[in-house]
Amino acid sequence: MFPHTRHSSLGLARRLPRRGLPAALAAVAAALATAGVAWGTTTATAAAAPAGPRTCALNDLYVSMGHKEGAAGSLYWSVVFTNTSSTKCALRGYPGVSALDTAHHRIGPAATRSGTRYATVTLTPAHTATAVLRTTNGPIGGPCRPTASYLRVYPPASHTAVLVPAHWKTCSNIFEVGPVNTEGTI
């Protein structure tokens, strides 16, 4: 809209002639008004929008391994997140997952994201959601890495991980994780 928009508004005001500044501000106010934004006011819907449940922290969750299944040359194993708190909380997105040996050293790269769309999953106390891991069912397109003894799992939006005992073998350089969901999909 204005030249040099990366500068502060004070710098912009110094470059515009005095008579041009009121006209420019009026044009901005008119543009905002036609876009449905009132200058200096807030809308009632924004103020009344309820905040959703809080994000689940690691201490709200029990993380475990669920069912392991093979299908169409792939191996799938679900990571289960159980709400152990006394209030509801929410998870949204992908967990971070790495395979570790018995000395807790990482084996290969961390799991990549499947790219599946996701939504917020609200967990009431004692309810679960899963994120599904996938690799190939043997060395189809490349060798297998050593079998892991643990998975390091970071719940979505968490910077703290938990170690989950899990004998996991990544094969063919495919180690993928889906988003947290209640349908058990990757």
For the stretch 1-45, pLDDT in tens is: 334 333 333 333 334 344 454 554 455 445 444 444 444 444 444
Q: Which amino acid is at 162?
A: V
Mean pLDDT of 39-65: 74
- Other C-beta atoms closer than 10 Å to the C-beta of 110 total 14
What is the pLDDT, as a whole number, of residue 139? 80
Dig out the tokens for 28 from the structure: 């901005």
What is the pLDDT, as a whole number, of residue 10? 37
% of the chain surpassing 90 pLDDT: 66
Mean pLDDT of 115-133: 98
Could you give the CA distance from residue 35 to residue 33 in angstroms, rounded to a whole number?
Answer: 5
Could you give the CA distance from residue 155 to residue 134 in angstroms, rounded to a whole number?
Answer: 17
Whether residue 155 is predicted with pLDDT greater than 60 in this model: the reply is yes
- pLDDT category at 47 given cuts 50, 70, 90 is low
Average pLDDT of the chain, as a whole number = 82
For the stretch 61-99, pLDDT in tens is: 999 999 999 988 999 999 999 999 999 999 999 999 999
Q: What is the pTM of this model?
A: 0.72
What is the pLDDT, as a whole number, of residue 42? 42
Going from N- to C-terminal start, the domains of the chain cover: 9-48, 58-177
State in words which class domain 58-177 has. mainly beta
What is the pLDDT, as a whole number, of residue 48? 53
What letters, b where the CB count within 10 A reaches 16 and e where it falls short, cover 42-67?
A: eeeeeeeeeeeeeebeeebbebbbbe
Whether residue 182 is predicted with pLDDT greater than 90 in this model: the reply is yes
What is the pLDDT, as a whole number, of residue 27? 53
Of 152, 149, 157, 124, whose CA–CA distance to 55 is shortest?
157
Could you give the CA distance from residue 110 to residue 97 in angstroms, rounded to a whole number?
Answer: 6
| 119 burial via Cβ count (<10 Å: 0-12, 13-18, 19+) | exposed
